[in-house]
């Protein structure tokens, strides 16, 4: 009976693999038909220039394997020759990531991906375009390898859409600014390392803010908030709006550093470093529920204390935070109150680092579900937030987003000197 099941599964897998190959070849041949005039032009130009129309170029996949791909020696859309490799089954449309831009072959392989062959499109490419941090590389590639043709097709479409919207802006500058507010263009791991660092040379609590379209809009009409954001120790670019702004400012953003994606990474780092938390903000019981949920998800996590955001006496709250001995303070009071509160009280806080995290506790307490991954991959999480709280988020998104896009347009024109 077991042998029958294994044989049936193997047969089914073989059928699926054959079907995928047929679909892949049909799609590739169709693309060749569409691009045939360009292929003919490139061939004629190569002959006129006494060159072979095609040459092979060596690349690497993420596992360190060598991938040889065709490229036209003359003409337009030179890289379109890789469609021939797809027809030949050298590579797939979706597969192991190819490390474009590097042609040297290393002596040591990095690690073997679960995907069988290299591909033009991959999940890491998609997440890189939007800066999404949603899992480690092996897990993402394993999930990609297990998905069906429909999800492969959907992923390719998402990548093409994101390439149009979130193209690289230019240089990968570490420290830069948009709309007059500085921010750190950094990877998630580096941001988390900063939060958990001892900061022993500093004389007060280090403050970090997340810059998004809403905070930029608020700062534009609130000079005190603008000053507060400009004087923080760290600002992180959060959301698709900031990615668009950075693109038009000629900046190639690294990761999308938002509190909701950061917190799981931060909790794991806190377990390594022995860091502890105090959660301040949200409605009554919200911070406590979030703390319990985090302790259940990350056994051994040290939540030293919690308190809701409806308080009037700063001194009493600060005393409670300091007495807890927490090293990291998460403040969820909403903008601009949370930023102003931290700027006012940072010299009175004994914790090493504090972050203004907005509605973070609502997600981790279970009050509000997180957006589906496909929406986050396209940078559309704000639509989900609007669906969950249409009245509360109407001004922020329906009015605020067009205002922010206009600011981005003005920024682009000012950079162009118009």
User: CA triplet 185, 188, 189: central angle to 5 degrees?
Assistant: 120
**pLDDT tens per residue, range 134-165:** 888 888 888 898 898 999 999 999 999 999 88
- Whether the predicted pLDDT of 117 surpasses 70: yes
Query: In this structure, what are the phi and psi dihedrals at residue 236, rounded to the nearest 5 degrees?
Result: -115, 140
Helix (H, G, I), strand (E, B) or coil at 348: helix
Element (H, E) at 375: helix 373-377
Q: For 234, left (φ over 0), alpha (ψ -120 to 50), or beta? A: beta
Structure tokens at 178: 């948009």
Q: What is the mean pLDDT of residues 57-79?
A: 90
Does 325 share its domain with 395? yes
Beta bridge partners of 176: 183
Q: How confident is the model at residue 107, as a pLDDT?
A: 41
Among residues 290, 292, 379, the alpha carbon closest in space to that of 332 is found at 290
Does 265 share its domain with 119? no
* Residue 5 pLDDT level (bands cut at 50, 70, 90): very low
**pLDDT tens per residue, range 14-50:** 666 778 888 889 999 999 999 999 999 999 999 999 9
Does 188 share its domain with 217? yes
* Residue 194 pLDDT level (bands cut at 50, 70, 90): very high
Element (H, E) at 329: strand 328-332
Give the separation between CA 268 and CA 46, rounded to whole angstroms. 56
Does 310 share its domain with 161? no
**130 lies in some domain:** yes
Give the separation between CA 4 and CA 346, rounded to whole angstroms. 68
Give the separation between CA 52 and CA 329, rounded to whole angstroms. 64
Beta strands in 205-326 (DSSP E): 206-211, 234-237, 276-281, 302-307
Beta bridge partners of 330: 279, 355
Q: What is the mean pLDDT of residues 289-315?
A: 96
Mean pLDDT, all residues of the chain: 88
Give the separation between CA 182 and CA 234, rounded to whole angstroms. 8
Give the separation between CA 154 and CA 262, rounded to whole angstroms. 26
Residues with Cβ < 8 Å from 46, sequence gap 6 or more? 52, 53, 72, 73, 74, 75
Pairing of strands 276-281, 206-211: unpaired
Does 275 share its domain with 402? yes
Q: Which of 139, 165, 191 is where one domain is finished?
A: 165
Q: Which of 135, 165, 195 is where one domain is finished?
A: 165
> Where does residue 233 rank: exposed (0-12), middle (13-18), buried (19+ CB within 10 A)?
middle
Of 112-116, 125-129, 353-357, 363-367, the one with minimum mean pLDDT is 112-116
Domain span at residue 98? 2-165
**49 lies in some domain:** yes
**170 lies in some domain:** no
* Residue 116 pLDDT level (bands cut at 50, 70, 90): low
Q: How confident is the model at residue 173, as a pLDDT?
A: 61
Q: What is the mean pLDDT of residues 129-133?
A: 91
Does 256 share its domain with 357? yes
Does 218 share its domain with 131? no
Does 154 share its domain with 222? no
Q: Which percentage of the chain shows pLDDT scores above 70?
A: 89
Does 219 share its domain with 158? no
Does 138 share its domain with 204? no
**333 lies in some domain:** yes
* Residue 377 pLDDT level (bands cut at 50, 70, 90): very high
Into how many domains does the chain fold? 2
Does 154 share its domain with 208? no
Q: Which of 131, 147, 165 is where one domain is finished?
A: 165
Does 38 share its domain with 10? yes
**pLDDT tens per residue, range 167-187:** 665 555 656 888 989 999 999
């Amino acid at each position: 009976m077991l042998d029958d099941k294994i044989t049936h599964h193997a047969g089914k897998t073989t059928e699926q693999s054959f079907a995928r190959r047929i679909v892949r070849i049909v799609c590739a041949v169709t693309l060749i038909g569409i691009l045939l005039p360009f292929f003919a032009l490139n061939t004629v130009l190569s002959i006129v220039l006494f060159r072979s129309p095609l040459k092979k170029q060596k690349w690497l996949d993420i596992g360190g394997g060598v991938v040889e791909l065709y490229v036209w020696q003359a003409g337009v859309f030179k890289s379109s020759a890789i469609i021939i490799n797809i027809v030949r089954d050298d590579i797939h449309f979706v597969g192991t990531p190819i490390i474009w831009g590097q042609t040297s072959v290393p002596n040591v392989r990095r690690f073997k991906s679960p995907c069988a062959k290299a591909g033009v499109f991959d999940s890491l490419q998609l997440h890189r375009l939007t800066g999404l941090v949603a899992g480690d590389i092996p897990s993402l590639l394993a999930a990609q390898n297990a998905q069906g043709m429909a999800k492969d097709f959907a992923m390719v479409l998402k990548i093409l859409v994101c390439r149009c919207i979130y193209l690289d802006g230019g240089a990968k500058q570490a420290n830069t600014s948009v709309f007059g507010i500085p921010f750190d263009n950094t990877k998630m791991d580096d941001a988390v390392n900063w939060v958990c660092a001892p900061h022993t040379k500093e004389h007060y609590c280090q403050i970090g803010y997340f810059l998004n379209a809403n905070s930029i809009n608020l700062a534009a009409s609130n000079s005190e908030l603008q000053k507060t954001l400009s004087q923080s120790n760290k600002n992180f670019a959060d959301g698709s709006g900031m990615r668009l702004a950075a693109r038009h400012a000629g900046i190639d953003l690294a990761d999308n550093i938002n509190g909701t994606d950061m917190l799981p990474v931060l909790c794991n780092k806190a377990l390594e470093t022995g860091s502890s938390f105090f959660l301040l903000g949200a409605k009554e019981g919200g911070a406590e529920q979030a703390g319990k949920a985090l302790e259940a998800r990350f056994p051994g996590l040290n939540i030293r204390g919690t308190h809701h955001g409806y308080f009037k006496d700063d001194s009493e709250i600060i005393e409670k935070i300091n007495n807890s001995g927490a090293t990291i303070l998460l403040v969820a009071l909403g903008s601009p109150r949370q930023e102003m509160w931290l700027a006012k009280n940072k010299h009175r806080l004994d914790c090493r680092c504090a972050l203004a995290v907005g509605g973070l506790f609502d997600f981790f307490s279970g009050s509000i579900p997180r957006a589906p991954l496909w929406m986050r991959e396209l940078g559309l999480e704000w639509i989900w937030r609007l669906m969950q709280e249409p009245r509360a988020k109407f001004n922020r998104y329906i009015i605020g987003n067009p205002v922010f896009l206009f600011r981005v347009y003005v920024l682009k024109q000012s950079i162009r000197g118009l």
